[in-house]
Amino acid sequence: MASVYFTPGPAQLYPTVAGHLQTALDKQVFSQSHRSQAFKDLYKRADAGLRALFNLPEDYAIYFTGSATEIWERSLQSLTAQKTYHLVNGSFSKKYLDHAKWLGRDAQVLQVPFGKGFSLEEVQVPGGTELLAITQNETSSGVCMPVSDIHALREKFPEPLISVDMVSGAPYAALDFSKVDMAFFSVQKGFGLPAGLGVWLVNGRCREVAAGLEGKQYTGGHHSIASLQDQYQQFQTPFTPNVLDIFLLTHVVEDMLTKGIETIRQETEAKAHQVYTFLEESSLFAPFVQEKAHRSPTVIVADVLEKPAAEVISLLKKQGMVLGSGYGASKEKQIRIANFPAIFEQEMDTLVKALRQL
Amino acid sequence: MASVYFTPGPAQLYPTVAGHLQTALDKQVFSQSHRSQAFKDLYKRADAGLRALFNLPEDYAIYFTGSATEIWERSLQSLTAQKTYHLVNGSFSKKYLDHAKWLGRDAQVLQVPFGKGFSLEEVQVPGGTELLAITQNETSSGVCMPVSDIHALREKFPEPLISVDMVSGAPYAALDFSKVDMAFFSVQKGFGLPAGLGVWLVNGRCREVAAGLEGKQYTGGHHSIASLQDQYQQFQTPFTPNVLDIFLLTHVVEDMLTKGIETIRQETEAKAHQVYTFLEESSLFAPFVQEKAHRSPTVIVADVLEKPAAEVISLLKKQGMVLGSGYGASKEKQIRIANFPAIFEQEMDTLVKALRQL
């Protein structure tokens, strides 16, 4: 009997994944050369689908990397020489900052406590900042930044490139890509695919900045923006990519387009509303994030009040529902419930009923 | 009707891959957290299998990256500060050199023409060289370096770390890992898996050198040897890895161990012998590599003498056999025949018969 994975990544597979995988095996897609026309056609199709799903402006390019973690590093190498500014409120936003420090950047930070979001007035990006790093959805704490706040930061700070980590927010987050410069995600969260692929959305302004830094510093080797763009122009990659994930992503994106991104967003919000409403009423649970506007619709974190969180997780597991544990130090007292598109409304309903009966 | 892929990577899938993939889907392996005990157990099992297959000395560690391309970069970042030395005889050995140059290393090179190997007397590694980069099997030209030559280089040059690119030679190449310091491969060649995973075998001496460079330079961020080792000690990875490929690798390695690596080597040599014997007798084809000791058993490159190579490839394709084209500028006049463990003796027999009848 299959379980339902409410884990925040790796996560429940999108319902169509197994079928697409069988099609790819039947067609021997994974034996095809990554320099073949068949691969170029696949990349082109992935590109078209992602452009439609995210409503990308014309000047965006789409690159593939080994992981979103790698994009933290590559974006800093190709787009910055000195000054970066990071909004940090959890483990993943902090990792972007760590990468900047490892690379020797003058990395400024606005840090707020775990479980908190940012108010726009607090954010003061110094002049000369090359890149403003925003984590749209903190997978560790369940805090999101409303896309309207991200858009407002663009108005307030036109100078720095704005980089948006939307690893656990895509494709739900209705980001206006004309108001940021790059964004990225990995496929094992909201797209419900096996892990092993990072997707990097990069606008023309980034490519100009990257071109200006070429030859002046190490910009990322085979995965510099210059090298990725050079290959992208023929729908190729600088290395042998994870063709399996690119194939699955292409087809799942098309499935999502068929369903409609607006429908996916509405369903996501309805499921999230159901869970948060229950958490507020419950005596055993409470929403961890206090500020309603900062509560993530895609990764819901709850305090467990009267039992060890592990007991809750264990009880649900016996009923075929796998919850995420709290991140790091919060493991003992929190649970995380991913509300990705792969989770049916019916499944979330069953989960909430089960939590209610604990 | 399925084709047989004699392409040098992505290549024919190992015969058991589809079955293992179905098992993983049934067990929901791709939804499991990469921080779970289940993943640690998987990594541990992959580690045990690879140790047995390669007969690794105790002090080796095994890391996973996004690709072998990435290992070119990471090995240079973590193991060298200044001087490297590269044996270059094709496109892939040159790429390792390119990475060293991009990273600003003083990269010395011994370069011989495409299609040639190295004689040991030519190799003169200067004192102070930190890393000697050897490509055990040049996928572009079909030239291999016999493992006995690699072992002799260790005797001759005890000082530099010896790094062996065995991307298209593993697991066939019977390298004595006590006589090198690191080696690496990707899984879409000799292991017959979908692309998207690099495997890095690293000895204790490398880890000591890496530790000495930590804090003095950028050693590769999340994929520095220090960071990879830190996670490896708990059978974890610094980022969400390609669990699907790690799962398949684990099981295919176990299948290979059941069959026996000696049997695989003997079969590889028998198949290679059959192809090279045909090429020597043929009036339409000739072995590209003249020096017999340097002819790769795993990637066989042939000149096509009287027709465009594309015509040969097209004719074979109609018979359900997919050959590799010549690499780069050799595309018009060469074919490449991968002789990986996934190719049955019967299939190679059918291929040679078909080539004979052209």
pLDDT digits (tens, 9 = 90+) for A17-70: 999 999 999 999 999 999 999 999 999 999 999 999 999 999 999 999 999 999
Instruction: Indicate whether B208 and B335 sit together in one domain.
Output: no
Q: Which of A211, A236, A258 is the last residue of a domain?
A: A258
The separation between the first and the last C-alpha atoms of chain A, rounded to the nearest angstrom, is 22
Could B239 and A324 be called an inter-chain contact, meaning their C-beta atoms sit closer than 8 Å?
no
Q: Tell me the ipTM for this assembly.
A: 0.97
Could B194 and A244 be called an inter-chain contact, meaning their C-beta atoms sit closer than 8 Å?
yes
Closest CA to B182 of B225, B152, B222: B225
Indicate the pLDDT class of residue A228, thresholds 50, 70 and 90: very high
Instruction: Indicate whether A235 and A128 sit together in one domain.
Output: yes
* Residue A180 near residue A79, CB atoms below 8 Å: no
Query: B37, B199, B240: which to substitute to probe chain A, counting the most A Cβ within 10 Å?
Result: B240
Q: Which of B258, B284, B314 is the last residue of a domain?
A: B258
Instruction: Indicate whether B78 and B126 sit together in one domain.
Output: yes
Domain assignment of residue B279, given as a range: 4-12+261-356
* Residue B9 near residue B186, CB atoms below 8 Å: yes
Instruction: Indicate whether A150 and A225 sit together in one domain.
Output: yes
User: Residue A78: what residue type?
Assistant: S
DSSP-derived 3-state class of residue A198:
strand
pLDDT digits (tens, 9 = 90+) for B153-199: 999 999 999 999 999 999 999 999 999 999 999 999 999 999 999 99
Q: Which of B208, B227, B258 is the last residue of a domain?
A: B258
Tokens of B318: 């109609």
CATH number at residue B273: 3.90.1150.10
Instruction: Indicate whether B52 and B170 sit together in one domain.
Output: yes
Tokens of B77: 């970042």
pLDDT digits (tens, 9 = 90+) for B310-333: 999 999 999 999 999 999 999 999
Instruction: Indicate whether B312 and B347 sit together in one domain.
Output: yes
Instruction: Indicate whether B128 and B271 sit together in one domain.
Output: no
DSSP string for B186-217: ETTSTT---S--EEEEE-HHHHHHHHHHBTTB
* pLDDT average, residue stretch B108-132: 97
Instruction: Indicate whether B206 and B92 sit together in one domain.
Output: yes
* pLDDT average, residue stretch B42-54: 98
pLDDT digits (tens, 9 = 90+) for A284-341: 999 999 999 999 999 999 999 989 999 999 999 999 999 999 999 999 999 999 999 9
Of B70, B240, B245, the CB nearest to A9: B240
Q: Can you name the residues that pair with A133 across neighbouring β-strands?
A: A86, A163
Question: What is the predicted pLDDT for the residue at A179?
Answer: 98
Question: What is the predicted pLDDT for the residue at A312?
Answer: 97
Average pLDDT over chain A, rounded to an integer: 97
Could B195 and A31 be called an inter-chain contact, meaning their C-beta atoms sit closer than 8 Å?
no
* Number of structural domains found in chain A: 2
Cα–Cα distance measured from residue B97 to residue B79, given in angstroms and rounded to the nearest whole number: 14
Check whether the bond before B10 is cis (ω within 30° of 0). Answer: yes
Question: What is the predicted pLDDT for the residue at A1?
Answer: 80
pLDDT digits (tens, 9 = 90+) for B259-303: 999 999 999 999 999 999 999 999 999 999 999 999 999 999 999
- Nearest residue of B to residue A32, measured between CA atoms: B10
Question: What is the predicted pLDDT for the residue at A246?
Answer: 98
Instruction: Indicate whether A8 and A30 sit together in one domain.
Output: no
Question: What is the predicted pLDDT for the residue at A88?
Answer: 98
Of B10, B33, B34, the CB nearest to A34: B10
Contacts of A244 in chain B (CB under 8 A): 194-196, 244
Average pLDDT over chain B, rounded to an integer: 97
Instruction: Indicate whether A279 and A290 sit together in one domain.
Output: yes
Instruction: Indicate whether B235 and B329 sit together in one domain.
Output: no
Of A10, A34, A245, the CB nearest to B33: A10
Cα–chain center distance at A115: 18
- Cα A178 to Cα A64, A75, B58, B240: the distances in Å are 21, 18, 54, 29
Whose tokens are 């082109």? That residue is A44
CATH number at residue B217: 3.40.640.10
Percent of chain B whose predicted confidence (pLDDT) is above 90: 99
Question: What is the predicted pLDDT for the residue at A267?
Answer: 98
Indicate the pLDDT class of residue B1, thresholds 50, 70 and 90: confident
Of A2, A221, A240, the CB nearest to B28: A2
Q: Can you name the residues that pair with B63 across neighbouring β-strands?
A: B200
Handedness of CA B203, B208, B213, B219 (dihedral sign): positive
Indicate the pLDDT class of residue B99, thresholds 50, 70 and 90: very high
Indicate the pLDDT class of residue B77, thresholds 50, 70 and 90: very high
Instruction: Indicate whether A249 and A294 sit together in one domain.
Output: no
Question: What is the predicted pLDDT for the residue at A99?
Answer: 98
